[in-house]
Chain A
Amino acid sequence: MFWRMISGALFRQKGKMLMIAFTVALGASLATAMLDVMLDVGDKVNQELKTYGANINVMPKGASLLDDLYGVEEGAGVSNQYLKEEELGRIKTIFWAFNIVDFAPYLDANVDVQLHSNAGSVTAASGTSTETSVSSGGSTSSGGSANVASGTAGVELVGTWFSHHLELPTGESLDTGIKNMKSWWDVSGEWPRDDQPTSALVGSILASQKGIDVGDTLTASTQGRQQDFTVVGIFNAGGEEDEQVYVPLLAVQQLTGRAGLVSSVEVSALTTPDNELSRRAAQNPKSLSIKEWETWYCTAYVSAISYQIEEVITDSVAKPIRQVAESEGAILEKTQLLMLLITVLSLVGAALGISNLITASVMERSREIGLLKALGAHNLPISWLVLAEILITAVVGGVAGYFAGIGFAQIIGHSVFGSAIDVKPMVIPLVAVLIFVVTLAGSIPSIRLLLRLRPAEVLHGR
């Protein structure tokens, strides 16, 4: 009989129950969408922040930044330590391999450059011109002093990967290089291709000083070797790179006789914002207890990823680039907190909205409840009856709302980030509990209120 009464209420009061189900569905879809977006926003924004480029710099042990410090570019035993190009693929095999977005090796050489422009004129690039330039990109001047020390007509020639195809030991393959990492570079002409070792990308300041145009030929010479390059593009990076020439890695390796060697690697990785633990670990991983060490190692802190890179690349030092790593952390935290608070507001709004409507619809049934009491029903069965009806309605609405919410989340994901929002299973229990609590909170006070009324009063419409 209980179920007959319930199904009677559900099917014969279709309009009202539909309205409740609809509102519950709205609330549930709101909660689902917001929770899904909130839980995924970290990853999504992290991905966006990759436009700032690399956040880890890998160098040979001992060499590190001392090139810049001493201004000694060639010979003299200081910077003749290198990383092996063949080991680079291993970066994609570390514990957090999946978080490595891109990486690119660099090998630079100070060269004399001669320009053969299309018009046929030949201009010698003089080394002094680069002296006046002050580095801008990161923050401080360094290029100037380096070039002075070389004492030759020096243009910095940087060998790198533009969009290099790499077969990994794991059998996977990827394309990586500065084309992805330097998203802010403004290239007129084309990016060089790694399989054309004679193509070159010239910095805009150098190009304007020397009158270099796309299609020109440059001859770079150092230590008695020389190599012709065709300029395929001019780039504006808004930094010290604008005074350099970028060519495929292989070309510089041949020119300098350093086959299979690179001087540094920039890595762009998705990381978790630093906390107390990761800061301590960054200072000295050995200071952690075993348990802390495991937590640290298995979390995508920039220090943990750096540590893991050092493990796979022989004699390397991987350092977080703080400008990028720290700022990423700050912005990620802020965005997540912002979304969290907006989510809380939406959840509170949805909760109040639903329980409000349920209160309204229970109050409306005063007459029916009065009648049931007049017929001799006790309070408890009446409460169960009303609760069961509303809970069934809420479950129907909640399930529909959950799927609608996933839809909303995907709309947001696709239109903002151009990729799908990860649907987290943990949202389901969260939404379920929310709907359950909200439904009870909305119905129990009003049921209690109605039960306190005397049947006669209710039935006589007072």
Chain B
Amino acid sequence: MKRQTMYLRMITSSLVRRRSRLLVALLAVAIGATILSGLVTIYYDVPRQLGQEFRSYGANLILVPAGDEPSIDRDTAQRAVDLIPKDEVVGIAPYRYETLKINEQPTVVAGTDLEGVQKASPYWFITGEWPTSSKSVLIGQEVADLIRLTPGSSLTLNGTGAEGQAVSANFTVSGIVQTGGTEEAFVFMALADLEAMMGDSGKLNVVECSISADQDDLDKIVKNISNNVEEVSPRLVKRVTESEGTVLTKLQALVYLVTVVVLLLTMICVATTMMAVVAERRKEIGLKKALGASNKSIVIEFLGEGLFFGALGGLLGSGLGFLFAQVVSMNVFTRAISFQPLLIPVTVVVSIAITGLACLLPVRSATDVDPAIVLRGE
């Protein structure tokens, strides 16, 4: 029989026949590995996930006409929007503003993509419903108070069309919008409705874009658009982008530090447990020394076991940790978390290193002991 075979046999016997101790040690390593892989996954994913949350602040990039042009052509705007990476777009809302009259009161009417608005400005508070059919509109709280309109009532808009003709149309109020901002004094309707009323199409005053990207990416997008689409001037909404950067950096630092502290403490905890499990076997070490085992071969045996614990616990932990991160992500952000394949080997290697180190300390101190002292008595 080869020496290696006996070595393996000793280790597997130790693992298989000391089942309860094995469970204790394995549990310790698995807990450590779970926390490691779970927290690191969350740490990597939090900026992305929280970045999405920050989109509730609304648009962070707006496209306005360049130079002295009063409006952007819709196709031009589309060309600019196409330059934004698709997977980063949260919502795009084009606006066309016209001043029309309700009951002879001048009112700003905005034609827009109502679905885009819901995505780009999720903070709008609607009493009633978002318009779903044509000829229904959202009115701002101010307008509603002034003209005494409620969801369901109808209103007539009139004014001057694109060709100077008098235009007039009836609409149903589907909802009242509250934002605390100037939107409360506006009337919102589908762009198609406004174009049909005004008698021309294809003109936009501003396009609001809510993009899930950090400051650098946004700067790149801005540069890209202004280089490629001359008719459009892209502008970052500094209030949103700068503040997002500040807060997100803090939050990321928070998760980072928490991860570091938790990992540090957990790893020490794992190490002490492993030390307790190994320290229990001082007597066995003494016996092996009495039988003529060199310190080296004893250390190698324990490292072999540690390797096994590290590998198995690490694998177990990376699975459980991902599961945990997934649960967190689904609960907090209601989005799946991205899987980091690299994390599995890292978790396993760290687990092995920690268990190995944790085994080594007590084994070292045990091998220093005289076998006679260990074997004596009891």
The 7 closest A-B pairs by CB, nearest first: A238-B238, A184-B242, A321-B180, A69-B185, A353-B269, A326-B123, A327-B56
Beta-carbon contacts under 8 Å, B322-376 to A: 324, 327-328, 331-333
CB distance A136 to B64 under 8 Å?
Answer: yes
CB distance A52 to B21 under 8 Å?
Answer: no
Interface size on A, residues (CB 8 A): 87
Known contacts A30-B266, A335-B251, A415-B253, A326 near B56 by CB under 8 Å: yes
Minimal beta-carbon separation of A19 from chain B (angstroms): 6
Minimal beta-carbon separation of B31 from chain A (angstroms): 5
B152 at the interface (CB under 8 A from A): no
Query: In the assembly, what is the distance between CA of A350 and CA of B146, in Å?
Result: 60
A127 at the interface (CB under 8 A from B): no
CB distance A140 to B97 under 8 Å?
Answer: yes
Q: Which residues of B contact A (CB under 8 A)?
A: 20-21, 24, 27-28, 31-32, 34-35, 38-39, 42, 46, 50, 53-54, 56-59, 62, 64-65, 68, 70, 95, 97, 99, 105-108, 110, 121-125, 127, 142-143, 146, 178-186, 205-206, 208, 235-243, 246-247, 250-251, 253-255, 257-258, 261-262, 265-266, 268-270, 272-273, 275-277, 279-280, 324, 327-328, 331-333, 378
Q: Which of A66, A136, A142, A416 contacts B62 (CB 8 A)?
A: A136
Known contacts A350-B265, A356-B28, A361 near B276 by CB under 8 Å: yes
CB distance B243 to A132 under 8 Å?
Answer: no
Minimal beta-carbon separation of A435 from chain B (angstroms): 13
A89 at the interface (CB under 8 A from B): no
Known contacts A30-B262, A52-B57, A321-B179, A334 near B276 by CB under 8 Å: no
CB distance A27 to B269 under 8 Å?
Answer: yes
CB distance B265 to A52 under 8 Å?
Answer: no
A441 at the interface (CB under 8 A from B): no
Query: In the assembly, what is the distance between CA of A138 and CA of B95, in Å?
Result: 13
CB distance B125 to A137 under 8 Å?
Answer: no
Q: Which of A53, A139, A331 contacts B53 (CB 8 A)?
A: A331
CB distance A416 to B99 under 8 Å?
Answer: no
Closest residue of B by beta carbon distance from A274: B125
Q: Which of B62, B95, B142, B273 contacts A360 (CB 8 A)?
A: B273
Beta-carbon contacts under 8 Å, A251-266 to B: none
CB distance B262 to A357 under 8 Å?
Answer: no
Beta-carbon contacts under 8 Å, A37-95 to B: 37, 41, 45, 48-49, 51-53, 56-57, 64-66, 68-71
Which residues of chain B are near A326, meaning CB under 8 Å?
Answer: 56, 122-123, 125
Q: Which residues of A contact B (CB under 8 A)?
A: 16, 19, 22-23, 26-27, 29-30, 33-34, 37, 41, 45, 48-49, 51-53, 56-57, 64-66, 68-71, 132, 134-142, 145, 182-186, 236-239, 283, 319-327, 330-331, 334-335, 337-339, 341-342, 345-346, 349-350, 352-354, 356-357, 359-361, 363-364, 367, 408, 411-412, 415-417
CB distance B185 to A138 under 8 Å?
Answer: no
CB distance A342 to B258 under 8 Å?
Answer: yes
Which residues of chain B are near A417, meaning CB under 8 Å?
Answer: 250, 254
CB distance A352 to B53 under 8 Å?
Answer: no
Q: Which of A237, A331, A341 contacts B247 (CB 8 A)?
A: A331
Q: Which of A68, A185, A327 contacts B182 (CB 8 A)?
A: A68
Minimal beta-carbon separation of A221 from chain B (angstroms): 26
Q: Which of A64, A323, A356 contacts B142 (CB 8 A)?
A: A64
Closest residue of B by beta carbon distance from A283: B127
Q: Which of A57, A132, A283, A416 contacts B254 (CB 8 A)?
A: A416
Which residues of chain B are near A237, meaning CB under 8 Å?
Answer: 238-239
Minimal beta-carbon separation of B369 from chain A (angstroms): 13
Q: Can you list 25 contacts pairing A with B, beta carbon distance less than 8 Å?
A: A30-B265, A48-B251, A52-B57, A136-B206, A139-B208, A141-B97, A184-B239, A238-B235, A322-B179, A322-B181, A323-B58, A323-B123, A334-B53, A338-B42, A338-B46, A341-B327, A345-B35, A345-B262, A349-B266, A350-B266, A353-B269, A360-B21, A360-B273, A415-B253, A416-B250
Which residues of chain A are near B46, meaning CB under 8 Å?
Answer: 338
Q: Which of A56, A66, A356 contacts B24 (CB 8 A)?
A: A356
CB distance A239 to B108 under 8 Å?
Answer: no
Most chain A C-beta atoms within 10 Å of own C-beta, residue among B53, B65, B179: B179
CB distance A364 to B238 under 8 Å?
Answer: no
Minimal beta-carbon separation of A140 from chain B (angstroms): 6
CB distance B31 to A349 under 8 Å?
Answer: yes
CB distance A338 to B328 under 8 Å?
Answer: yes
CB distance A238 to B183 under 8 Å?
Answer: no
Which residues of chain B are near A65, meaning CB under 8 Å?
Answer: 142, 182, 184-185
